[in-house]
Amino acid sequence: MSYGTGRRLPSSSRLWIHALLLLLTLLTTTIVGARLAVNFSRNLPAFRFEEDFAFLATLWEQPHLLAEGLPFSLTLLAILLAHEFGHYLVCRFHRIDSSLPYFLPAPTLIGTFGAFIRIRSPIFSRRDLFDVGIAGPLAGFVCLIPALGVGIALSKVIPGIANQGDLTFGNPPLVWLSLQAVFPGVAPADVYLHPVARAAWIGLFATALNLLPIGQLDGGHILYALFGPPHRRLSQLFALALLPLGWFFWTGWILWAIFFLITGRRRPPIIDEFPVGAGRTRLGLLAAGIFLLSFTPNPIQTAMAL
């Protein structure tokens, strides 16, 4: 989510922007998915940068290969769309002015920088802030669970495949549990994840990142709704806790920590400080459980770090 001010333009005048960004993101994620599908079918490591760049020329000559990338791209976009529409629909329910989701196509490893909605009007109630903050992660998590199950069922066993290629990926607890259920007795490093499962993995990483109890993240909104003014100090402490994770596990956490320490001071102006109540507190505990199932301290490693 992002917050902004200014006069609202008629929704029809911006609808084409949302549609165009969605289509471009579908294209960029489908290109990534096509490469993942080809590697999967040939039992090659998921990411091999030199060959991956060369694959773009292959796609230009054989555009029909794009169809192979749709299982990945459609799964990923469905998870992102569920997350953002969770926020959007709750905003509509509470009569909070917000935009439709903006998707962000990008030449990244997954073909996108994600998506966001822009909230144009203030949120004055802790209860409304809680509802808006938690709706996205809950909706996205519900969407990715069946995708993860289907994706792992379509995966296959190739000894040591997870440690091959230019990148390796850590397994959040939910992925580890799913692998144990579908491939009992098989080491996670020996399971080659299907592109649909990789899309679900990305959804889990995005869920964990959004649920970090920091600043303007969904987890930060939940934290403020539950604890009120101490949110700022707690948010800074959680951001600082990312620094040792960056030192011992994944250096990306250091970059995120710096970003959150700079931007995490802002919060929506809350006037109605009435407590959120027992029901929402239990939902907050559920969100904490989802975070623990989705989080891994070492999500990505390069070949040089192995």
Residues with Cβ within 8 Å of 158's Cβ and at least 6 positions away in sequence, in order, are 43, 190, 191, 192
What phi, psi does 156 have (nearest 5°)?
Answer: -145, 165
Kindly compute the dihedral angle of the four CA atoms of residues 234, 239, 244, 248, in this order, to the nearest 10 degrees. Answer: 130
Does residue 214 contact residue 265 with C-beta atoms inside 8 Å? no
DSSP code for 117? -
Confidence of residue 6 (pLDDT cuts 50, 70, 90): very low
* 104 three-class SS: strand
At residue 199, does pLDDT exceed 90?
yes
Does residue 225 contact residue 133 with C-beta atoms inside 8 Å? yes
Domain ranges of the chain: 2-305
- The reported pLDDT for the residue numbered 59 is 84
Rounded to whole angstroms, the Cα distance separating 306 from 294 reads 23
Rounded to whole angstroms, the Cα distance separating 68 from 293 reads 30
Copy the structure tokens of residue 42: 């040939």
Residues with Cβ within 8 Å of 138's Cβ and at least 6 positions away in sequence, in order, are 86, 283, 286, 287, 290
Alpha carbon separation from 35 to 29, 59, 150, 164 (Å, rounded): 10, 9, 20, 16
- The reported pLDDT for the residue numbered 101 is 95
**How many residues does the structure list for the chain?**
306
- The reported pLDDT for the residue numbered 9 is 46
Neighbours of 53 (CB within 10 A): 10
Kindly report, residue by residue over 11-69, the tens digit of the pLDDT: 555 789 999 999 999 999 999 999 999 999 999 999 988 787 788 888 888 888 899 99
The stretch 252-262 carries a mean pLDDT of 90
One-letter amino acid of 188: P
At residue 287, does pLDDT exceed 50?
yes
